[in-house]
A = this chain, B = another copy of it.
Amino acid sequence: MREYYTITELTREFDVSTRTLRFYEDEGLIQPIRRGRTRLFRPSDRHLIRQILRGKRLGFSINEIREIIQMYREPPGEVGQLKLMIKRIEEKREDLRQKRRDLEETLTELDHAEETCVERLAELGVNT
């Protein structure tokens, strides 16, 4: 496990621009440390970037991603806060379960679409 990554190393690894990583920093999603003015990314920042991009692929907004990331952190110490957090986590999970249903349905329809294409191709292959 490396100790630090430069910004360009990570832009190459994740195929994002430096602007994007700075944007995420401005948004408070990551907090790379500084050596002078230069950003140094720790493995934890790298892991956060991974989670952010995963959230993006699933269609979550930056704010939603921020919420999700907070859920991964140390739980709060106060009972009310804890219960609230559990409620939020459950909501987000329901959200994801909906996405999963959407995903399976879409995959099924695409399977069917491909099958139709393949059949059509077979017909043409036979007739030609």
The reply on A126 being an interface residue by CB < 8 A is: no
Within 8 A of B (CB), among A93-126: 93, 96-100, 102-103, 105-107, 109-111, 113-114, 116-118, 120-121, 124
Copies of this protein chain in the complex: 2
Interface of A is mostly: helix
Q: How far is the CB of A9 from chain B (nearest CB, A)?
A: 23
Say yes or no: A60 contacts B58, CB within 8 Å.
Answer: no
Q: Contacts A118-B86, A121-B79: A109 and B72 contacting too (C-beta < 8 A)?
A: yes
**Chain A interface residues toward B at CB < 8 A:** 51, 54-60, 68, 71-72, 75, 77, 79, 82-83, 85-86, 89-90, 92-93, 96-100, 102-103, 105-107, 109-111, 113-114, 116-118, 120-121, 124, 128
New contact pairs (13) apart from A57-B99, A68-B106, CB-CB < 8 Å? A57-B98, A57-B102, A58-B58, A58-B102, A58-B106, A59-B59, A75-B116, A79-B124, A82-B124, A83-B121, A89-B114, A93-B110, A96-B103
